[in-house]
């Protein structure tokens, strides 16, 4: 978003709220910097395989596709989780995954439980984490459309190892506030998007923005286009 945007803070990399429907894929919950946890709902088999590994220390490194104001795309590392306590998640009556009791019994079977509602899902909470502010995210030479479920099998494994080692050594206390602010801002935006009145308020905020003409994807659209898109994503069954 351009400098001066009235909707998003300039120092945070936000999710693509205007392009993907959260309830379609569990979007904005994967990876869960909102709750500092992760579950098998996104990559069921791969997450199970990862949790079953016997490594003394295990890390998940996260990246995002960052689009600049001119439409250029660059993949960037945004942070990491160090795997902490195992957890179990279950589907709530609202159709969302919620944390349950700690997963003290590790399940060895790898199934497609992630495709079935009302089934417990395995996961973990982060014992250590870093979420970087926008200007400190690390560019990587990864251009594939698909999401790499294992950096260890990617062509940039050595680059990822170097970035992770540097992130582990930094003073994590500096970045706690970044994660807290990200959680607060995500909740604020989602509270607007989930209701008709909230979406109208969001559109009104964008309408009054002084820099909307510089907004590559969203601000240049008319109010009618914005309203229709948000209705499709948050009231209909539009897919990502």
Q: What is the pLDDT of residue 224?
A: 94
- Confidence check: pLDDT of 69 > 80: no
Higher-confidence position of 96 and 43: 43
| pLDDT for 30 beyond 70 | no
**DSSP string across 105-144:** S-------GGGSTT--EEEEEEEEEEE--GGG-EE-----
Q: Check whether 29 has a pLDDT greater than 80.
A: no
For 145-181, how does the pLDDT look when each residue is reduced to its tens digit (9 = 90+)? 555 566 777 788 899 999 999 999 887 777 888 888 9
Q: What is the pLDDT of residues 85-135, one digit of tens each?
A: 877 766 565 555 565 655 444 443 333 344 444 567 777 888 888 999 989
pLDDT tier, 27 (very low <50, low <70, confident <90, very high otherwise): very low
User: Are the C-beta atoms of residues 8 and 186 closer than 8 Å to each other?
Assistant: no
More confident residue, 201 or 172: 201
Euclidean distance between CA atoms 155 and 146, whole angstroms:
13
Place of tokens 């905020």: 205
The pLDDT of residue 163 is 93
The b-or-e profile of 122-146 (16+ CB within 10 A means b, else e) is: bbbbbeebbbbbbebbbebebeeee
pLDDT number for residue 153: 73
| Whether the predicted pLDDT of 202 surpasses 90 | yes
Separation CA 163–CA 116 (nearest Å): 36
**71 pLDDT above the threshold of 90:** no
């Amino acid at each position: 978003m351009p400098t001066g945007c009235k909707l998003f803070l300039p120092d945070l990399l936000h999710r693509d709220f205007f392009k993907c429907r959260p309830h379609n894929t569990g979007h904005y919950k994967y990876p869960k910097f909102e709750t500092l946890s992760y579950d098998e709902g996104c990559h069921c088999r791969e997450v199970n395989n990862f949790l079953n590994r016997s490594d003394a220390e295990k890390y998940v490194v996260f990246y995002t596709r960052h689009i600049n104001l001119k439409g250029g795309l660059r993949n960037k590392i945004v942070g990491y989780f160090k795997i902490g306590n195992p957890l179990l998640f279950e589907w709530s009556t609202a159709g969302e995954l919620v944390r349950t009791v700690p997963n003290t019994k590790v399940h060895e079977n790898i199934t497609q439980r992630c495709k079935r509602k009302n089934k417990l899902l395995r996961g973990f909470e982060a014992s250590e984490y870093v979420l970087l502010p926008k200007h400190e995210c690390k560019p990587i030479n990864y251009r594939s459309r698909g999401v790499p479920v294992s950096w260890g099998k990617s062509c940039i494994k050595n680059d990822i190892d170097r970035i992770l080692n540097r992130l582990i050594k930094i003073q994590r206390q500096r970045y706690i506030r970044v994660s807290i602010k990200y959680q607060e801002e995500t909740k604020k935006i989602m509270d607007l998007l989930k209701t008709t009145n909230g979406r109208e308020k969001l559109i009104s905020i964008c309408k009054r923005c002084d820099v909307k003409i510089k907004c590559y994807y969203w601000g240049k659209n008319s109010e009618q286009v914005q309203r229709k898109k948000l209705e499709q994503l948050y009231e209909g069954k539009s897919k990502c």
